[in-house]
Structure 1
Amino acid sequence: MGEFAHPAVGGAAYAVRMSTPLPAAPHPLMRLLELPGVAEGVDAAREACTRLRWHEAMRRRADECAVESRVQGAHASAALEGAEWPVDWVREAMAGVRPWSEDPDPVEPVVRGAVRATEEAAHLESLTASAPSQVLARLHLAAVRGVVADVDAGRPRHAGEPVRELTELGDPPPAEAVAPRLTGLTQVLTAPPEVPAVLVAAVAHAEVAVVRPFVRGNGLVARALERAVVRSRGLDPLGVAVVEAGHRPGGGVEYHGALAAYAGGTPEGVALWLRHAAESLEGAVRAGERVADAVRSGRVPQAG
């Protein structure tokens, strides 16, 4: 029986067992392509992203499309946290014409974190592979600024600090398991170029969501990290795919279910998440095409 441990999950690794030994692969992540339906999903997602790059609006108005993609992405990411704001308000907040409240309701800080993390992801293209720890810290700072104490922003949780997020995934790993899991995440983010970007983005997203390395803001960071990886590894170099919106159909039920399957650590569960992530990226491209159509036809409202 051949066996290998997933490189992203440190001491809590799952094992994939095959009836015959697997051949050597250039990088351990490549073996995830052997899981049922994963290679096909990766190919379909990559083809969808290629199609988006050829959209007519990309010729002259790609920057406008990317801005609106971030608006739609922040809106979707906040909604997946249960924080619903009208998308026009999100657009105005991102443009700086809607001030944040000094006495916000419980929803606004989540939206604010989604906006800031999504915007920050656009500035991390050169760092996701070269300085992944810095990327995580910067995304977390953006997501929770003003919500947690400054000293706690950007750092992993300590023993005794509770995490009350993403309860659908079960209990998070203990604090002492966070450091080795983040080491594994670094290995994922620094994978060589031959590893499909779809795999890198999907595993990175799942690791942050499942490990929950921070006391707050883990979901926002996970989705912003996926956006940054998808762009930085050339899958969507213009940043127009609405990565976060791809996870939103069904109100996030399928999204959380797929993450819970990954957290279970079985080959079937990991495959389920990877297929979901690939399908979600196709949905992200469709959302990006709608953005591009709207920009091209002048249907995107002007903030303010």
Structure 2
Amino acid sequence: MPDTSPLVAALTQLAALPEVAAASDHAREVCTQLRWHEALRRRIPEASAESRVRGAWASAELDGARSTASIVREIMMGARGRSAEPDPAERVIHGAIAATAETEHLRDLVTHSPGQALARLHTAAAAQLVDDRDQLGRPRVEGEGCDEFADLGPAPTGEELRRRLDGIIELMRSASEAPALVVASIVHAEIATVRPFVVGNGLVARAVERALIAATGLDPTGVAVPEAGHGHEGGPAYLGSLNGYVHGGAPGVSLWLKHCGDSLVAGAEEGWRVAESVRAGRLG
């Protein structure tokens, strides 16, 4: 039997918890069913593009930027012009669109060059959110804080921030060996908790999860909509599960992992609706 790193062993132990294993098995089963949907035999690009539309919309909604999937679709297709001076919600929507679109190009980078993948996703997500463009694509430095996810407690700084960010990168590299759902879920939670960037951390966390789910083969078609899954019980349920991850000890971590498994099931079900719409020729 090959040697297993302590990190992979710990992730494997988490995946073996009964409630986590059940959620993970269900998620994998539903993703497998989605993979063999008749519409995806020849039309994966069309379906995955629509998944990114719905994912961007859902991710922006989780950050409090309200819109509709139709508006996001029109923006992504170039059929709707962008405001010369977008309000804060529009900026978040544009960031969600850009970050979700960027995931299409990161399947190799997200596990082999995770630092580069994070930088690219943040540059896309925060282009209209940062006050200083020098803050794009790089972690916070001394004197820079972050006001996002305030309920999770103060964002780490200094040496703790560097150590936690190194841990996120190591987690992403482990995705080829460790249980995929557990890796994607913990990376998502760690980015939200650590908040390595001055702004845009939620958009980056959800985009990284999408990229990892595709790169690890959980959803190789990229048609599932995990962002919609996180919002299927409402934003408070999503934030409550994250709060459990941070403050709830081992039971809270298990709660978050179960939430992510259930969210991927809901996201794959949304992907099935995408595939059905593609087959029927009635997107939107």
C-alpha change, 1:167 and 1:127, in structure 2 (3 Å) is same
For residue 105 of structure 2, the aligned residue among 123, 144, 149 is 123
Give the deviation of 1:39 after TM superposition. Answer: 1.2
Q: Identify the residue that residue 3 of structure 2 maps to in structure 1.
A: none
The farther-off stretch of 268-277 and 189-198 is 189-198
Note the 1:1-304 alignment, pairs <5 A: 7=7, 27-148=9-130, 149-191=132-174, 193-264=176-247, 266-301=249-284
Residue identity opposite 1:161 in structure 2: E
RMSD (Å) for aligned C-alpha atoms: 1.5
Shift of 1:98: 1.7
State the alpha-carbon separation in 2 of the partners of residues 116 and 194 from structure 1.
29
Moved more, 276-285 or 84-93: 84-93
Please give the alpha-carbon distance, in whole angstroms, between the structure 1 residues aligned to 2:35 and 2:175. 23
Q: Is the 8 A contact 1:121 1:228 kept in 2?
A: yes
Say whether the 8 Å CA contact 1:27–1:191 is kept in structure 2: no
- Greater fraction of residues in helix: 2
Q: Which amino acid aligns with 2:215?
A: S
- TM-score normalised by the chain length of structure 2: 0.94
Give how far 1:192 is off: 5.5
Residue of structure 2 equivalent to 1:15: none
Q: Which moved more, 1:206-215 or 1:92-101?
A: 92-101
The offset of 1:194, in angstroms, is 3.9
How far apart are 1:275 and its partner, in Å? 0.5
1:11 aligned partner: none
- Contact between 2:168 and 2:187, CA under 8 Å: does it hold in 1? yes
The alpha-carbon distance between structure 1 residues 33 and 241, as it changes in their structure 2 partners (threshold 3 A), is same
Letter aligned with residue 214 of structure 2: R
Q: How far does the alpha carbon of each residue in 1:157-193 deviate from its partner, in whole angstroms, 9 at most, with x for none?
A: 1232221111232222234311111111111111153
Contact 2:214 2:222 in 1 (8 A): yes
Q: Structure 1, residues 193-244: CA drift from partner, whole Å, max 9, x if none?
A: 3422111110111110111111100000000000000001111111000010
Letter in 2 for 1:251: G
The answer to whether the 8 A contact 1:128-1:135 is kept is yes
* 2:86 maps to amino acid: P
Q: Secondary structure at the match of 2:176?
A: coil
Q: Partner letter of residue 35 of structure 1?
A: L
How many residues are aligned here?
278
Whichever residue aligns with residue 79 of structure 2, its letter is V
Distance 2:56 2:169 in 1: 25
Per the normalisation by structure 1, the TM-score is 0.88
Stretch moving more, 218-227 or 92-101: 92-101
Give the distance between the partners of 1:118 and 1:192, measured in 2 at CA. Answer: 20
Q: CA deviation at 1:86?
A: 2.0
Unaligned segments of structure 2, at least 5 residues: 1-5
SS in 2 for 1:190: helix
1:36 shift after superposition: 4.4
Provide Cα deviations, 1:71-95, integer angstroms capped at 9, x if missing partner: 0000000000110112111001111
Counterparts of 1:192 and 1:76, CA distance in 2: 25
Q: Deviations over 1:28-83 (max 9, x none)?
A: 31111243411111111111111110111111111110000000000000000110
* AA matched with 1:31: Q
Q: Do the aligned residues in 1 keep the contact of 2:95 with 2:128 (CA within 8 Å)?
A: no
Q: Aligned equivalents of 1:137 and 1:192: distance in 2? A: 18
Q: Distance in 2 between matches of 1:191 and 1:97?
A: 40
**Structure 1: any 5+ residue segments left out of the alignment?**
1-5, 8-25
